[in-house]
Amino acid sequence: MKEKPIAANDLVITALEKTDALPYDLLLIADPSKHAIDKYIFDSIVYKADLKGRTIGCYALFGIDHETVEIKNIAVDESFQGKGIGTILLNDAVEKAKLKGLKKIIIGTGNSSVGQLYLYQKVGFRITGIERDFFKENYDEPIIENGIECRDMIVLTKEL
């Protein structure tokens, strides 16, 4: 039997204060390089999702310009994946961007991240660009996922 999904009401999503410790254990699930994370995380608003007092997910919003924000990092604790939390976090990010009066929200993922490409399109993002060789040029180690090399960044956009 399929496990009961987690409802949005079960999660408490809050923005971290600048003085709060960053949830690197989660951030590193989405982005394997701390060096890469540190290039955007201090200029992002990081939101954490708590379930019964335990932080099990997070996402980071980075302002691109006056009308666009990017989800730079989104992650759910491995033991809680596949229960609908990622969908709740994506929809929460979309709502936050709308409330700020923004026009577009973007997210980038690797060409090999087939599940993520499925999920982002399912919540309404459309492919709007490809940054060829982004991962080859910005990461020291080759990334292999789903049996293929992660080379290109696929950029997806949702109009708000």
Which residues sit at the interface with ligand ACO, rule CB under 6 A? 29-30, 71-76, 81-87, 107-109, 113, 115-116, 118-119
Select 44 or 113, whichever has its Cβ closest to ligand ACO: 113
**3-class secondary-structure state, position 96:** helix
Select 92 or 100, whichever has its Cβ closest to ligand ACO: 92
Select 23 or 160, whichever has its Cβ closest to ligand ACO: 23
The minimum distance between CB 142 and ligand ACO, in angstroms, equals: 17
The minimum distance between CB 6 and ligand ACO, in angstroms, equals: 8
Residue 156 phi/psi, 5-degree rounding, is: -120, 145
Q: Which amino acid is at 16?
A: L
- Measured CA distances, 112 to 140, 145, 150, 151 (Å): 17, 6, 5, 8
Radius of gyration in angstroms for the set of CA atoms belonging to the chain, rounded to a whole number: 15
The minimum distance between CB 12 and ligand ACO, in angstroms, equals: 16
The minimum distance between CB 66 and ligand ACO, in angstroms, equals: 21
Distance, CA of 120 to CA of 23 (rounded, Å): 22
The minimum distance between CB 151 and ligand ACO, in angstroms, equals: 15
Closest CA relative to residue 110, chosen from 68, 72, 71, 155: 155
Select 106 or 160, whichever has its Cβ closest to ligand ACO: 106
Select 6 or 19, whichever has its Cβ closest to ligand ACO: 6
Residues 6+ away with beta carbon under 8 Å from 115? none
